[in-house]
Amino acid sequence: MTSNHAAESPPHGRSGEEVANRFREDILAGVFAPGTRITQIDLAERYDSTRAPVREAIRILGAEGLVSSVANTGAWIASLGLHECHELYRLREQLEPMLIGDSARGLSPADHERLAGLAEEMAATADTERFLALDREFHFLAYSRADTIMLADQVRGLWNRTQHYRRAFVSVVRTQGDPSADYDHALIARALARGDAEEASAVLRLHIRRTRIRLADHPEIFE
């Protein structure tokens, strides 16, 4: 006799959340470009799943702003225009300084050591994907000690929605040899190590604002 648990388990052992996690990872890694049309059949094959978990995954990522769906038409990887990206960066300017300010007092000596190391590693790499991974780790470690229920999730969602455009922007500025982001990261790490939450928040706000302003100089990123 088949148990109720087995009967309720999705085929191939994939839940909608599991498929969503893998799909999200691929979107953030640049496997799917913005505007790419996606089908349930293709995703089910890619993630060794059936269509029901895929539908749930599309719903989950749609709620996160990573997938756009139109009833009876289809689904696409969400894309942003310059104005939309500009708005999301304005939100980051407001939210992330609050988050790092709340987190600063809870960071441990080991956290400070890791942040300093990440800043050095970012400055030393010319590889865009390596930089993006280190950059994400740096920022979310700096935010990780904040006692927050919703703010961190909001910030993570903003990062995820702008990931493709940040990748393209980083590729351009790293090629040009612009060290401003490296200076910012070092200043943030040092301010946090001193326990100066106000300074860390101020540098972070300018760090995000500079990117927002400079994105307007590269409209080709949004084409």
CB atoms within 10 A of CB 199: 16
Residue 64 has pLDDT above 90, yes or no: yes
The span from the CA of 40 to the CA of 130, in Å, is: 31
For the entire predicted model, the pTM comes to 0.89
SS (H, E, C) 59-80: HHHHHCCCEEEECCCEEEECCC
Label residue 43 exposed, middle or buried (CB < 10 Å: 0-12, 13-18, 19+): buried
pLDDT tens per residue across span 23-62: 999 999 999 999 999 999 999 999 999 999 999 999 999 9
Q: Which domains does the chain have, with CATH numbers?
A: 4-77 (1.10.10.10), 82-222 (1.20.120.530)
The per-residue pLDDT for 12 is: 54
- Contact between 135 and 122 (Cβ < 8 Å): yes
